[in-house]
Amino acid sequence: NAGVMQNPRHLVRRRGQEARLRCSPMKGHSHVYWYRQLPEEGLKFMVYLQKENIIDESGMPKERFSAEFPKEGPSILRIQQVVRGDSAAYFCASSNQGQGLYGYTFGSGTRLTVV
Amino acid sequence: KNEVEQSPQNLTAQEGEFITINCSYSVGISALHWLQQHPGGGIVSLFMLSSGKKKHGRLIATINIQEKHSSLHITASHPRDSAVYICAVLEGTSGSRLTFGEGTQLTVNP
């Protein structure tokens, strides 16, 4: 059981490019959460997904950001036309129940740098 | 004012000292988490609490629901405990996401 796998660990993109961040939840977990940690700031919720459904995207920026969790394969956080302000660590967590009432498992994060 | 406040922001201790990190929150919650984050590393979930007290090794977490306050204690601290400790709450109404404190940077010197 490899836990929550995020890749890549580090991603460098030029302004205007697209960034794709992947998260494979823990085996048996069907709930995925994405969080962002801006430099020198705390973690902030972005989006909560179940397989093929977005449950809560109230933390997602209105433009350029999207997330999916298809029936097969990892969850993807996609950032189009990246800007310097998107540079941050993006963490994924998974749980086997909604609301994480039985706890969350976090991935190691993807550190995005926009140059 | 943040919904989740931690204190202190930074804490330096000598090896062997007893350490306390505090967390206060202003919203109704269904659970509270304590997380550990090492530099450049991922996040590890230490405890999830909805009442009372939990202990794991040298770590103890307590919560007082009436006072909306939780504490994380580390007994016999060690340099390997140096990390950022983060308090996060699962709000009772939204239910689906964690709201995080700003974290406490702990440094334990040998």
- pLDDT for A16-31, tens place per residue? 999 999 999 998 888 9
Query: From the CA of A9, how many Å to the nearest CA of chain B?
Result: 10
Minimum-distance CB partner of A108 among B35, B41, B94: B41
Minimum-distance CB partner of A99 among B41, B90, B99: B90
Looking at this protein, which amino acid is placed at residue B106?
A: L
Counting residues of chain A whose pLDDT is more than 90, the rounded percentage is 76
Token pair 């989006």 in the structure block, residue: A47
What pLDDT is stored for residue A100 in this prediction?
55
- CA distance linking residue B86 with residue A91, whole number of Å: 14
Is A109 in CB contact (< 8 Å) with chain B? yes
Check CB contact under 8 Å for A106 and B30.
no
What pLDDT is stored for residue B30 in this prediction?
85
For the stretch B83-100, pLDDT in tens is 999 999 988 755 567 899
Minimum-distance CB partner of A107 among B42, B96, B102: B42
Q: Note whether B41 and A106 are within 8 A (CB).
A: no
Q: If pLDDT is split at 50, 70 and 90, which confidence band does B63 have? A: very high
Q: Note whether A5 and A24 are within 8 A (CB).
A: yes
- CA distance linking residue B100 with residue A41, whole number of Å: 10
Query: From the CA of A113, how many Å to the nearest CA of chain B?
Result: 14
Question: What mean pLDDT comes out for the span B60-87?
Answer: 96
By DSSP bridging, strand B10-14 and strand B104-109 are parallel
The neighbouring-strand residues paired with A56 are A48
Minimum-distance CB partner of A103 among B48, B95, B96: B48
B96, closest residue in chain A (CA to CA): A99
Nearest to B101 by CA among B27, B41, B25, B42: B25
State both tokens at A19: 């960034």
- Name residues 24-83 of chain A within 8 A of B (Cβ): 33, 35, 41-45, 48, 55-56, 58-59
Is B32 in CB contact (< 8 Å) with chain A? no
Is B93 in CB contact (< 8 Å) with chain A? no
- CA distance linking residue B110 with residue B92, whole number of Å: 41
